[in-house]
Chains A and B, each alone.
With several copies, the nearest count.
Chain A
Amino acid sequence: MTETPTDVFTLSRDELPAALEAVLFASGDPVSLDRICEITGTDKETALEALRRLTDRYNEDPRSGISVRRLENDYVMCTKPGMKSILERFFRPRSRPPMSQATYETLAVIAYNQPVTRAQVESVRGVSSDSIISRLLERGWIQECGTLDAPGRPVLFETTQQFLMEFGIESVAEMPAMDLMMYSTIRDLEKSLEEAAGARDNRQVSIEHLPSDPDYPDMGHL
């Protein structure tokens, strides 16, 4: 690439059709005639002529499922109207593969801790759960429900009505109390372990601040 791309670029007449096609294809959205001229470095007349040929080539070829259409001053590449039924088949949802254990785990952690942040879920599961959370959102098992009042304002998640319906409200009430599923427990465990480790290096030691340690059974009593 050169430093001043707008000036040096030129397309030969032979290169113009392919260039137009590539731009319309990659864009996906309508592209204006002005923009086409600007990019290809051609005048309007030449561009229009090339676009006309391109349009004809696609629209008149029965082997092609694509057409090029003009919308006022924009041009767009899209599927032909006759392709609707095949595309309906393409877009028809297929039965989904069963959810993975990881997905159920993430859902369970959210159910136990809601409302809960991504970081909290990760802390309980011990592994990153970002992509799974996105999938659960997409599938409607969980939803966003505000943000946590903490730095970065992380999003909070909760389970949805759909989850309740599928799982059964009674089942939810019967969910056994599980300390090790709870973010608060995990956080406390992590904290106390950190403190125990930290006593070695980052704390002014006082008699009241000793870690309890199985090897020093008496220290708790001091």
Chain B
Amino acid sequence: MPSHRVPDLKIDRFEGPLDLLFHLIEKNDIDIYDIPIAEITDQYMSFLHGMSTPDMEVASEFLVMAATLIHIKSKMMLPGIRTGVSPEEGEDPREELVIRLLQYRRCKILAQDLRGRYAYYAGSLTKLPTLPKTLEITVQSVPQEFEPDCFNRAIMAVCARNEVRFADLSSKITHLLKREKVSIRDKMKAVWQKLTEKGRIFFHEIFPVAETEKEERVAGFMAVLELLRSNRISADQERPFDVILLSKKEERTRKESRMYLKEPHHVRKENQT
């Protein structure tokens, strides 16, 4: 058995872990039905250590095979299992691997055959269809049956599909907004804290454009709306996109206005909060 070093092998030279394994088996002139699993596992592992690949998906495929090899190796070390495949013995732990390797070998051979066939046959050309006109043959057109019922059914089908499509979309968006709710709660706390400290503050002072993510500002804005709705604060904005001044409402004013508004919905909402 040659040394365990497998130099000058790049991972992209191999189509996958089976290809690599197959290469090691051929290179070492191993009988595929009697693989010295310990040796092969060592060689495989030393290759894995030496490889560098940025692609985690590719790497993981090679690692899965490594795990399989180590598993087989450990099974082989259990007492009662000998090498060689003869009917009298119990199941050889390498059997599944051998089947896979044989399968893959056949796949490679057939692939090679297909490549050769393509190189040979692909240049064959067919002729463009002769047009009846050039043969002075006139082709009568055959009318296409039109079924008004099918037409009407099709209309219904499109409408039904669109209904589902947009219901789906809007529920997705609602879901996205719902997810924000968690952070909106936090933001409500933050806004309330600032207002408790200062009494009045501009929205952009709590959520400065330069220092906060858009999402955070939107959540903050939602929080302000929630606080407005529960009548804890007031907000003033002269026109769209202008600055927003937030101020805390005093407990007394809040109660008064709540009674004034007498909106049961608000009361219920507030109780929840």
A and B touch in the complex (CB under 8 A): yes
Interface residue A166 (Cβ < 8 Å from any Cβ of B): yes
Chain B interface residues (CB < 8 Å from chain A): 15-19, 33, 57-58, 61, 65, 85, 87, 91-92, 95, 98-100, 102-130, 132, 135-137, 139-142, 144-148, 150-151, 153-155, 157-159, 161-163, 165-166, 169-170, 173-174, 176-178, 180-181, 214-215, 217-218, 221-222, 225-226, 228-229, 235, 237, 240-242, 244, 265-266
Q: Given A125-B107, A168-B120, A197-B173, list of 6 further CB < 8 A pairs? A: A26-B130, A96-B145, A109-B107, A126-B100, A185-B91, A200-B176
CB pair A99 B150 closer than 8 Å = yes
CB pair B125 A178 closer than 8 Å = no
Interface residue A148 (Cβ < 8 Å from any Cβ of B): no
CB pair A187 B85 closer than 8 Å = yes
CB pair B61 A128 closer than 8 Å = yes
Number of interface residues of A (CB under 8 A): 84
Question: Given that A78-B125, A109-B158, A180-B159 are contacting pairs, would A87 and B151 also be in contact in the complex, using a CB cutoff of 8 Å?
Answer: no
**A111-126 interface (Cβ within 8 A of B):** 111-112, 124-126
CB pair B225 A219 closer than 8 Å = yes
Interface residue A181 (Cβ < 8 Å from any Cβ of B): yes
CB distance from B98 to the nearest CB of A (A): 6
CB distance from A89 to the nearest CB of B (A): 10
Q: Which of A25, A171, A189 contacts B130 (CB 8 A)?
A: A25
Q: Return 25 A-B CB contacts under 8 Å, by A number.
A: A25-B130, A29-B126, A79-B123, A83-B124, A92-B140, A93-B139, A99-B115, A99-B146, A99-B150, A104-B115, A107-B151, A108-B110, A111-B114, A125-B15, A127-B61, A141-B144, A165-B121, A167-B114, A168-B121, A200-B176, A206-B241, A207-B235, A210-B113, A211-B177, A219-B113
